Structure 1
Amino acid sequence: MKKLSLFKALLLVLTLTSFISKPEIDANNSWIRINLLGYQPKATKVAIWASKTNQVPDKFELIDQQSGKVVYTSTNIKSFGAYGPFTATARLNFSDFKISGKYFIRIAEIKSPEIIINDEVYRHTADFALRYMRQQRSGFNPYLRDSCHTHDGFVLYGAKAGIKDSTHFDASGGWHDASDYLQYSTTSANATYHLLMAYRDFPQAFADTKQANGLDGKNGMADVLDEAKWGLDWLVKMHPKDNIMFNQLADDRDHISMRIPKEDSQYGKGFERPLYYIDGEPQQRGKFMNNTKGTSSTAAKFTSAFALGSKIFASADENYAQQLKQKAISALAYANIKKGVTQTVSVKSPYIYAEDNWVDDMELAYASMPLIAEKTWKKNSGIAFDYAKQETITPWLTKDTANHYQYYPFVNIGHYELAKNSQPHKQKLASYYKQGIEQVWERAQKNAFYRGVPFIWCSNNLTVAFAQQCMWYKQLSGDESFNELEQANFDWLLGCNPWGTSMVYGLPNWGDTPTDPHSAFTHLKNYPIDGGLVDGPVYTSIYKNLIGIQLTKPDAYADFQSDLAVYHDDYGDYSTNEPTMDGTASLIYLLAAYDSRTKTIPKEFQSLQGAIIRGKATEKKVALVFTGDEFADGGNNINKTLVDENVKASFFLTGRFYSKLKNRKLIETLKTNGNYLGPHSNAHLLYNDWIKRDSLLVTELQFKTDLMWNYGAMEKVGIKMDDAKYFLPPYEWYNQQIADWTSQMDKQLINFTSGTRSNADYTYPEMGKSYRSTEEIYKSILDYDKSKADGLNGFILLLHIGTDPRRTDKFYNRLPELIKYLKTSGYELVKINELLKTEQ
């Protein structure tokens, strides 16, 4: 009886508690943070619940913005507790929702900002951020349509080179470093490298809307390359002779006032500003001396920028490329004069770029040298790897704090550049990246924002760098275990942070972004500084101890400041809200990378290993495709047949084919007649092993460089890169990695449709069993058409524009007969871009 009574009592308690509802969520003290720019459908998608109460929701809804209907409900919520100003935080994961559209998250009465899901959410954002780089130009400034700092500069510390103090050297140009007008070689070289690298890896992300001087108008070169060249030209001036290199133009006397750039006269020599020579010895730091120990850190950065610039500009300007090559060689020699770090100079204050490491710069320099001297790869890669082993992990990754720019650049680019081109070292270098990521992850996994990057000065620059490292590690290793961590750092920059604001001026233009940055452009003239990445939040302890910070208005983010970190959208706070040139350049690379993840093959097309191999099987269309490298003997016959039959075809030709003078008239005729002309690699490389398809025979750099040379040869005969998006690989042999690299360049890999023997028209009797006669090839096409329900619908029928002289039985002589058969059978003969056209 006692047991029964106890049971009834327990039942009564449970019944009563079931009618007690959970306390309502406090809408005034709870927020949902998101990436304000948006998410790509297949990406990790996480919003952050942040509340000053103890409440954590048990579910959330995704609401269609237009219809108001619930389209998704989830309980995928991971609670983390207190962080910064919040008592309760949680991760709201909706990654498995992949439908494009505009939505918002709803929890009780709380709504998130608009959530955009679309493949194109990052389109053109890299070019948007490039606006800030253009606005930072010294010399002629296209934004102001005026010139500034045209008298620079006079030399200091030049005794080792026999240069008297106050000697004039032309140093006009380059970029102002931030909202002040100092110019540093170390940040400029790093920024230049990032811009060059962004174009090399993701050329499709950039448009051509500006001239070389930055004013409106196309000049046949992507705007990012115009900007990179602006940086390179200044670096050349900062290394005018083999024995002369300058580390810095102007100093902290710049900070006398906020002003629009013009000639500055506060340095004691008219309108000239001081040029600080690199002598490898300590130089001024306020009342003391800096900790310069050598010549390596800055000079090595020059080396890598010059080498990559030489490689990229080789097809456009051979003389300029040669000049950069020689500068790379002399800069590397300069880096070896006295091994050690070169720090910047200050005169009045103690604040400098206190760079403390340099072996990472040497690693990248030696990894870059084979770009201008391919035969030196074995030697230079070995030296680069020796430096890699000296600093396996960029030191800030292991720390909670660091001095200003103490470990710069904030990501070790050398590991990536060396690993992707050196199979023997790839696994080890990838492991170095992983070790650094794990150090940050150890801190990040303890909070809902996955924040493991320390809140030191320019924390946003570190955030960009860390996202790059995660991305590169995944590319090198295939390990996707840090995908969510990478995305969290990217999202942080664009609004998924405690303050709920994007850290990029004007991006997105519909969201909360900086409006009052520490910038003379905005403060004095209300000029927008589109695309500028601001410094980002700092530890509150750092903020309280900085000199000269005073907020000018009530703090819009007061509710979200904490004892941990602060961020102020106030021009009076130079520590969190000042945009930086080099941070923006790094962001441009990251935005270009994310923009380039949008390529997908439509379901109606057949694909293999990332290449489209057949169009729509529901449409009676066929694309005749001709490839060519060494031989062109059939060109005139093929052209005549196409004209006689009023048919257009597609031609995929190597750079060698396009470059031969004897082929020029044929190419011009094919182009004039409206045929499609595309790339087939520059030197007809074999990309991967014939037996082990996954075994690559080329590096990413070799692949992309070769393809860019192919496009360069095409441009010389009037075929624009943007007009040739389809790429047919040499030997018609490739793998998924080749397709991925092609996609990164905003091109689509294609290949022939299997089933016939048309692609064997290059064979000749001496090849034995591989030889196929013209009659056999012709019959295979007709037999396939008659034996399949959908026949040759959507076929990419591949032939060759010329063949070895040993083949006397030329299939192109049967082309008139083949075209007549296809027409009679009801097929429409179209170009490849027409065959693969999709509905808009």
Structure 2
Amino acid sequence: MVKGFKITMLIILFCISCIVKAEVDVEIRVNLAGYLPNMPKKALILSKEALTAPILLLKNKSGDLLKTYAAIPSKDPWPPFSYYYMVDFTDLIDKGTYYFELQNTAIVSKPFNIGSYPAWQEDVIGFIRTQRCGFNPHIKAYCHQKDGLSFFGIRPDSTQIDATGGWHDAGDQLKYLITGSNTTARMLMAYQINPKHFKDEFNDRGLKGANGLPDILDEAKWGLEWILKLHPKPNELYHQVADDRDHRGFKLPNEDNADYGWGPNSFRPVYFATGKPQGLSKYKSQAMGVSNIAGRSSATLALGYEIFSNLKGYETFAKTCLKAAKELYKMGQEKEGYQQGNSFGAPYRYEENTWADDMEWAAAQLYKISRKKNLLKDARNYATIIGTWSWMERDTTNHYEMYPFVNMGHYALWQVGSDQDKKQMIAYYKHNLDRIQKKADENPYGVGQLFVWCSNNLAAAVATQCMLFEAMTGSKEYRPLMQDHVNWLLGLNPWGSSMITGIPEHADTPTDVHMPFWRINKDTIKGSLVDGPIWSTILKKMIAIELSEPDEYLQLQPEHIKYRDDWMDYSTNEPTLDGSAELLLILTYLNE
């Protein structure tokens, strides 16, 4: 009797241990933010052992069973999970909060919503606001009031110029026209496409209080004003303030301890766009012109003119933007080619080497304003030069080599061109998206971005290009591709974590980020996109990356890519200015 009891108990304990082990080895992934009613919807089951005909039970937040879904095996799994099963529940259109349960287990998914997304684009704008240089509204203090002293320019080296303003680029406090121009343009485009989707809760200084201008335009104007400062005369353009000598640990912007030779928290170099290689130490940039930054800045200023010329009280500002846009377009024509970012003591820099897309963008925007036929001819010529050439054509790419990550020039030409132009621009976009779709078909998540540094920017770019393609054609062909990349950014990924700080609320999102406000004040800034997962082969070569604590995602890490929510991993967990701006168009779309 006792012996039989012991055997029975051993069997029970063994069965319990098997169930616990099975449940530890199985995960359910969903988009933590949820899905629009009319968009594709999928969930994934990740398992380390084969499952027999798995079934997901759809339940509401009260736990009531609503429907069952049979999961089908998915190809090309990513270890450490050897088996993936996909559930398509696109038929679910009723608004509400739901979760999945794996039949005959206690394994459940995180809850998700069906319905429009909240106005999270406002949180992105809020993050960009915290990156302001000059007067920083987050800490309510002035910083970098001595920016800066010019170098490589037509003025004698160390000549003081006014390059105050703009935004800090990431966790450091450098400022780049390369990224600042694109960030400004994305805000202007987001407003232009959906002007009713933005609030007015802050003034032009970034402080709480409405001022009659949507906050996205307050922030875009901050960017436009900085671009104008970097172009003080028709033959001058500066492209970068400070360099990696800034990297002296975390510090608040108003307490910058970086010393460029004039003492801590003092003057910083401002680099003139010469169109030639630059660098004050052993690391030299490549350059052969200025068309990328001149063209993109011209397009941005032209967008600024379009919007602010229709707002009472901003007519003079708008005209100033248009004048500068014309001058910078001419500069880009005279020095065709690209200007890269500068580094000093490390090999990392923005390695942009495309430029025709930026000039196409500028020409199309200026044609939209002036209707001068030579500008339309220019836009067509530049469009032909760049064609389909983008990171989407590549199996790998250098850091920011093909930037911006969406060719906005093609979209701008589609807006103003002939029927033939429209057809050609659509074909360019389609070619790129087909290449991404081919890569996406090779993995269960359905994503096709490259896992280089700032891979999340590329995922956001794919979603944006899908959205623009649909706007251009009316076709829903790439809606699944768009949704899969949105899903990836919002938790349907190996780690089950969103890649946007604080979004969605009450979910796993980046917390221990590579940012001074977090490291010094433990301030969590909502609305920033972190760099994202990176190929393991690249991560191994990154300089001075360690972890401050054990990796919380260790058991979930794929062999070929890694993501860590750790402030010491600047390659995967650092929020960036322009990466966050990449979210604006798609988040506004999802807020419909």
TM-score by structure 2 length? 0.93
Asked if 2 retains the 8 angstrom alpha-carbon contact of 1:80 and 1:448, the reply is: yes
Residue deviations 1:6-48, cap 9 Å, x none? Answer: xxxxxxxxxxxxxxxxx97921111111111111111111112
Asked if 2 retains the 8 angstrom alpha-carbon contact of 1:394 and 1:411, the reply is: no
- Alignment of 1:541 with 2:537, yes or no, is yes
- Alpha-carbon distance in 1 for matches of 2:469, 2:52: 34
- Given the alignment, which residue of 93, 97, 106 partners 2:92? 97
Partner of 2:488: 492
Please state how far the C-alpha of 1:394 moved relative to its aligned partner: 3.8
Return closer, same or farther for 1:255/1:578 CA change in 2, 3 Å cut-off: same
- Alpha-carbon distance in 2 for matches of 1:451, 1:285: 40
Partner of 2:393: 398
Partner of 1:354: 351
Asked if 2 retains the 8 angstrom alpha-carbon contact of 1:522 and 1:528, the reply is: yes
- Alpha-carbon distance in 2 for matches of 1:581, 1:353: 14
Return closer, same or farther for 1:76/1:479 CA change in 2, 3 Å cut-off: farther
SS of the equivalent of 1:153 reads strand
Please state how far the C-alpha of 1:167 moved relative to its aligned partner: 0.2
- Given the alignment, which residue of 436, 439, 450 partners 1:454? 450
Residue deviations 1:271-320, cap 9 Å, x none? Answer: 11100001111111751421111111111111001000011000221100
Note the 1:270-285 alignment, pairs <5 A: 270=263, 271-284=266-279
- Alpha-carbon distance in 1 for matches of 2:152, 2:353: 21
Asked if 2 retains the 8 angstrom alpha-carbon contact of 1:177 and 1:580, the reply is: yes
Partner of 1:178: 170
Partner of 1:513: 509
Please state how far the C-alpha of 1:264 moved relative to its aligned partner: 4.6
Which residue type is aligned with residue 267 of structure 1?
Y
Task: Report which stretch shifted further, 206-215 or 50-59.
Answer: 50-59
Please state how far the C-alpha of 1:91 moved relative to its aligned partner: 2.1
SS of the equivalent of 1:577 reads coil
Partner of 2:376: 381
Partner of 1:571: 567
Which residue type is aligned with residue 237 of structure 1?
K
- Alignment of 1:339 with 2:317, yes or no, is no
- Alignment of 1:140 with 2:135, yes or no, is yes
Residue deviations 1:541-568, cap 9 Å, x none? Answer: 1111100111000101101113210000
Please state how far the C-alpha of 1:84 moved relative to its aligned partner: 4.0
- Given the alignment, which residue of 243, 260, 271 partners 2:252? 260
- Given the alignment, which residue of 364, 368, 385 partners 2:365? 368
Partner of 2:12: none
Partner of 1:593: 589
Which residue type is aligned with residue 333 of structure 2?
N
Q: Which runs of 5+ in 2 are unaligned?
A: 1-17
Which residue type is aligned with residue 277 of structure 2?
P
- Alpha-carbon distance in 2 for matches of 1:587, 1:56: 39
Which residue type is aligned with residue 570 of structure 1?
D
SS of the equivalent of 1:480 reads coil
Please state how far the C-alpha of 1:338 moved relative to its aligned partner: 1.5
- Given the alignment, which residue of 145, 157, 161 partners 1:165? 157
Please state how far the C-alpha of 1:489 moved relative to its aligned partner: 0.2
Which residue type is aligned with residue 74 of structure 2?
S
SS of the equivalent of 1:111 reads coil
- Alpha-carbon distance in 1 for matches of 2:325, 2:143: 28
Asked if 1 retains the 8 angstrom alpha-carbon contact of 2:514 and 2:569, the reply is: yes
- Alpha-carbon distance in 1 for matches of 2:248, 2:183: 26
- Alignment of 1:269 with 2:262, yes or no, is yes
Partner of 1:439: 435
Residue deviations 1:89-137, cap 9 Å, x none? Answer: 1221100011111110111321100011123xx1211001111100000
SS of the equivalent of 2:203 reads coil
Please state how far the C-alpha of 1:60 moved relative to its aligned partner: 1.6
- Alignment of 1:556 with 2:549, yes or no, is no
- Given the alignment, which residue of 422, 428, 448 partners 2:424? 428
- Alpha-carbon distance in 1 for matches of 2:197, 2:431: 31
Which residue type is aligned with residue 345 of structure 1?
N
- Alpha-carbon distance in 1 for matches of 2:429, 2:249: 42
Note the 1:406-425 alignment, pairs <5 A: 406-422=401-417, 423-425=419-421
Which residue type is aligned with residue 89 of structure 2?
F
Which residue type is aligned with residue 387 of structure 1?
Y
Task: Report which stretch shifted further, 134-143 or 82-91.
Answer: 82-91
Please state how far the C-alpha of 1:393 moved relative to its aligned partner: 1.8
Please state how far the C-alpha of 1:203 moved relative to its aligned partner: 1.5
Asked if 1 retains the 8 angstrom alpha-carbon contact of 2:512 and 2:565, the reply is: yes
- Alignment of 1:230 with 2:222, yes or no, is yes
Return closer, same or farther for 1:337/1:269 CA change in 2, 3 Å cut-off: farther
Which residue type is aligned with residue 83 of structure 1?
W
Quote the RMSD (CA, aligned, Å).
1.5
- Alpha-carbon distance in 2 for matches of 1:592, 1:379: 34
Asked if 2 retains the 8 angstrom alpha-carbon contact of 1:538 and 1:567, the reply is: yes
SS of the equivalent of 1:72 reads strand
- Alignment of 1:192 with 2:184, yes or no, is yes
- Alpha-carbon distance in 1 for matches of 2:42, 2:389: 28
SS of the equivalent of 1:50 reads strand
SS of the equivalent of 2:295 reads helix
SS of the equivalent of 1:105 reads strand
Task: Report which stretch shifted further, 88-97 or 277-286.
Answer: 277-286
Which residue type is aligned with residue 338 of structure 1?
K
Asked if 2 retains the 8 angstrom alpha-carbon contact of 1:264 and 1:273, the reply is: no
- Alpha-carbon distance in 2 for matches of 1:372, 1:453: 35
- Alpha-carbon distance in 1 for matches of 2:299, 2:398: 25
SS of the equivalent of 1:418 reads helix
Q: List structure 1 segments (4+ residues) > 6 angstroms apart after TM superposition.
A: none
Please state how far the C-alpha of 1:517 moved relative to its aligned partner: 0.5
Report the structure number with the largest CA radius of gyration: 1
Which residue type is aligned with residue 385 of structure 2?
Q
Partner of 1:751: none
- Alpha-carbon distance in 2 for matches of 1:356, 1:52: 43
Please state how far the C-alpha of 1:585 moved relative to its aligned partner: 1.1
Residue deviations 1:692-732, cap 9 Å, x none? Answer: xxxxxxxxxxxxxxxxxxxxxxxxxxxxxxxxxxxxxxxxx
Q: Among all aligned residue pairs of Structure 1 and Structure 2, give the percentage whose two residues are the same amino acid.
A: 39
Please state how far the C-alpha of 1:56 moved relative to its aligned partner: 6.0
- Alpha-carbon distance in 2 for matches of 1:441, 1:424: 25
Partner of 2:477: 481
Residue deviations 1:651-701, cap 9 Å, x none? Answer: xxxxxxxxxxxxxxxxxxxxxxxxxxxxxxxxxxxxxxxxxxxxxxxxxxx
Residue deviations 1:781-830, cap 9 Å, x none? Answer: xxxxxxxxxxxxxxxxxxxxxxxxxxxxxxxxxxxxxxxxxxxxxxxxxx
TM-score by structure 1 length? 0.66
Note the 1:35-74 alignment, pairs <5 A: 35-55=31-51, 57-66=53-62, 68-74=63-69
Asked if 2 retains the 8 angstrom alpha-carbon contact of 1:149 and 1:264, the reply is: no
Asked if 2 retains the 8 angstrom alpha-carbon contact of 1:286 and 1:349, the reply is: no
Asked if 1 retains the 8 angstrom alpha-carbon contact of 2:122 and 2:199, the reply is: yes
Asked if 2 retains the 8 angstrom alpha-carbon contact of 1:63 and 1:106, the reply is: yes
- Alpha-carbon distance in 2 for matches of 1:333, 1:421: 20
Higher relative contact order (CA 8 A, sep 6+): 2
Please state how far the C-alpha of 1:478 moved relative to its aligned partner: 2.6
SS of the equivalent of 1:549 reads coil
Partner of 2:122: 127
Aligned residues: 566
- Alignment of 1:240 with 2:229, yes or no, is no
Which residue type is aligned with residue 260 of structure 2?
Y
